[in-house]
Structure 1
């Protein structure tokens, strides 16, 4: 009678078979550290005796199935470092879980309130996802919790004061979220706490002096917030270093903490000074009110015009009103709709000067869309490159936000690649990929603030009337600081094009763009999307190309290229093989081993030169 099955760290691939549900006496199932793909089979609901399910560090995807909630004896569930998406099942609150780890996936939506009902939970780690919403005051129900990690999500609101009731908690991380408000003094009630990380939020106010009473506190990280006032110096705070308080400009304290010294001003203020203050304050209030009224009136008058955002040097109008866009799109009529995405829609518009433009209208009800608007303005408004879509202007007020961009008459590369009405020949495809590579080379190495696009794919490449390619849609782009080689994010990108380190750990770097470019380069000449239904049971686009290069590429090449009457196809194939080999060098699993975009541009231009000579064409 099999009660334990441990196949971890064995390089297993493929999907978890449905027959796993036949092992009805199983208590522990460990498949972590393999290369498993696909979904969790719903037959696991038959494992009524299962106490421990460990599937972390694989490539499993899909939603976290509700059938797991039927495992009433399950106490340990680890799905970390996979590609699970969707929401956390609400029914998990009805289980007896003691350890739950969903970290490093791509889960979205709010944290279900039922999760705070897990009274037996010891370890709860849902970090490194894209979860939003607030931390419920009901968090205090986790009476047995020892580790709580909600870091690297999109959680907003304040830290609930009830969190101080977690007297068993030893490790708390809420870092890299959007938390606001003050640090509750009630946290002094977490008498067992050893580690607190609240860094990279928007917390303000003072550090509660009451935290000095946390006798077991060994580490605290409050860096990258908006805190002010004096840093406590008693209890465990005597041992903390400057690393705990970085980038809080309002903090003061000892010099070794690398903050400004606290001013100890004379507390005695003369009656004359007090009289002057009492007279000046009302006057200053009146002046500020008048200034505020004037400012609001001016803002109301100009509210329907574009925010300038340093657009004056683009050689185009910098003030385009909402009403001009409304008129130019016939009231944003569907007949002018060019496309829709998760953050908004793009319309064709005709300005009063008869210029045709594309207007990207953002969904102001989505916080992610507003952040995308800011990112695109910041990333694109000061960039100049032939192969980037130009921002002409932007229109921004409280009720409407849009970008006005160059109109690309030939639409997206995705449309050309997969439509039955169009067909790109070999040189056209190569020209487009050289254009895209040149754009990425510029973003990575040609700007004062390097930019990682993060979502390179055919639908984000637009073609102008001369079939010149322009990279667009910088809604999830990331700007790297000086000397930075990588940053971390949980912003969702497109499955199939994401580099492995991006999908599993949220690592963003130039090398991630290189990986996406390599996938797109393969797609360009095979006419197969990385999510094509043929790629199942461990086979993906990269493996398919790798197994066919260099000797069998005619079997993977887009049939349209073979049917175009190429008399020199046998001579062309070696150069196509070089393209596939270049693509594979972009997609190596280890980021450091991937080729640089500067080298990609050089290699592709050489291949294009050979093909032009062979085909007798200059362009």
Structure 2
């Protein structure tokens, strides 16, 4: 992404041990030097978005280590080599060029035949190929649909169920390309375990790529097994894990992309606002610390239960992280006890945060968010509620205040010091649903 112009110098072929080279988004002209065939150590090369013309040297087929080579958005023409590393490249790496030709798998027209006889021979071969396919496919299709018709909807449901859990395979280089080399412009979030980047696959599907911090690699010794479990989970409030990508130097989860971003953005940004109904609807959907919103503003959960997936030593790391944020239950921080009651406590803290617009880690000393709210209930609820939240006037004001007070009461019941005294989630949902009905009646 500089303003480099002129041609690529032929001397670049002397860099025989170079592994990665990116010259994308420049004003480079001329041809691809044939001397690049000597760059035998090259694994990653990006020449896209330039004004490079001429042919793609066939000698580049000798670069056996090359896994990623992007020629898109240039002025190249002629035949695309098909041997060596070119066997594994997709059509995406050749789009928007002058007049490339070659194999149909590159989505380019075939190169002109050397003679009319050869062209007619190819047409004849294609004709016989289609006839052979027809003789096989037509009877097979008839038998297939007859069997499905006989077995009815049961077979259809089983097929749909199988397809829903089939994992999609996405390579490391596809993720690198989809996220524009994990550029900061695509960074949408970061945390103690890693960073999340937005990406777009060749199919046009938007994804979120969670790249784990390799310094915590030991904490994910069962990474592949856990990802297999996560991929099989399906729920309207769980972000879909599309696949995982893991090698010695890279570990990532590929997740469905939530276009509306995080709940935090809507709580603390001056450019967004959620009213009481929206916040209550979201919190009814919530069952964990961190929430992302889809197109319909339906809550989706992420990072659930990682403390239970990690080993004892690694779980301590996650515990300390949550303790700093103020979401962790007291018995977990003091004794390391894990139960569903810990999730209830964390939920209660988030419920308080959603309606007070105060983060649990901004209090000093022994004062906590739960204590600060409890000191103000039931008479001074307006002292702790988000000042922009209660908008009613006249007769409507007391009703809205009562609604917020009842929500605060549910949150504090979730945050009881004793796990046995905390409300279970089923009752929490029931009480919040009842509160939502009261709010609609205001």
Q: TM-score range by the shorter chain?
A: 0.5 to 0.7
1:169-180 equivalences under 5 Å are none
Task: Indicate yes or no: 2:423 matched with 1:595.
Answer: yes
How far 1:478 moved relative to its partner? 1.2
1:37-52 equivalences under 5 Å are none
1:275-314 equivalences under 5 Å are 313-314=163-164
Give 3-state SS (helix, strand or coil) of 1:349's partner. strand
Task: Indicate yes or no: 2:405 matched with 1:555.
Answer: no
TM-score by length of 2: 0.58
Q: Is the 8 A contact 1:373 1:475 kept in 2?
A: no
> Which deviates the most, 555-564 or 508-517?
555-564
Q: Is the 8 A contact 2:193 2:213 kept in 1?
A: yes
Task: Indicate yes or no: 2:356 matched with 1:509.
Answer: no
Map of 2:355 onto structure 1: 525
Give ranges in structure 2 of 5+ residues lacking alignment.
1-87, 90-160
Map of 1:213 onto structure 2: none
Give 3-state SS (helix, strand or coil) of 1:581's partner. helix
Map of 2:239 onto structure 1: 389
Q: Is the 8 A contact 2:165 2:231 kept in 1?
A: no
TM-score by length of 1: 0.42
1:172-251 equivalences under 5 Å are none
Please give the alpha-carbon distance, in whole angstroms, between the structure 1 residues aligned to 2:394 and 2:250: 51
Please give the alpha-carbon distance, in whole angstroms, between the structure 2 residues aligned to 1:488 and 1:611: 43
Q: Is the 8 A contact 1:376 1:475 kept in 2?
A: no
1:156-555 equivalences under 5 Å are 313-314=163-164, 318-368=168-218, 370-371=220-221, 373-374=223-224, 377-436=227-286, 440=287, 456-457=288-289, 460-474=290-304, 476-478=306-308, 489-493=315-319, 494-495=322-323, 496-532=326-362, 535-555=363-383
Give 3-state SS (helix, strand or coil) of 2:338's partner. strand
Which whole-Å deviations, capped at 9, do the CAs of 1:62-91 have from their partners, x for residues lacking one?
xxxxxxxxxxxxxxxxxxxxxxxxxxxxxx
Give 3-state SS (helix, strand or coil) of 1:409's partner. coil
Equivalent pairs counted in the alignment come to: 282
How far 1:609 moved relative to its partner? 1.5
How far 1:462 moved relative to its partner? 0.5
Map of 2:399 onto structure 1: 571
Give 3-state SS (helix, strand or coil) of 1:402's partner. strand
Give ranges in structure 1 of 5+ residues lacking alignment.
1-302, 305-310, 441-455, 481-486, 615-619
Map of 2:40 onto structure 1: none
Q: Is the 8 A contact 2:224 2:246 kept in 1?
A: no
Please give the alpha-carbon distance, in whole angstroms, between the structure 1 residues aligned to 2:314 and 2:211: 28
Map of 1:585 onto structure 2: 413
How far 1:488 moved relative to its partner? 11
Change in CA separation of 1:350 and 1:432 when aligned onto 2, cut-off 3 Å: same
Please give the alpha-carbon distance, in whole angstroms, between the structure 2 residues aligned to 1:559 and 1:372: 46
How far 1:563 moved relative to its partner? 4.8
How far 1:406 moved relative to its partner? 0.7
Quick check: which one's helix share is greater? 2
Which whole-Å deviations, capped at 9, do the CAs of 1:559-607 have from their partners, x for residues lacking one?
0113577972211111211111111111111111111111111111111
Please give the alpha-carbon distance, in whole angstroms, between the structure 1 residues aligned to 2:428 and 2:359: 21
Q: Is the 8 A contact 1:392 1:406 kept in 2?
A: yes
Map of 1:199 onto structure 2: none
Change in CA separation of 1:323 and 1:488 when aligned onto 2, cut-off 3 Å: closer
Quick check: which one's strand share is greater? 1
How far 1:358 moved relative to its partner? 0.5
> Which deviates the most, 563-572 or 545-554?
563-572
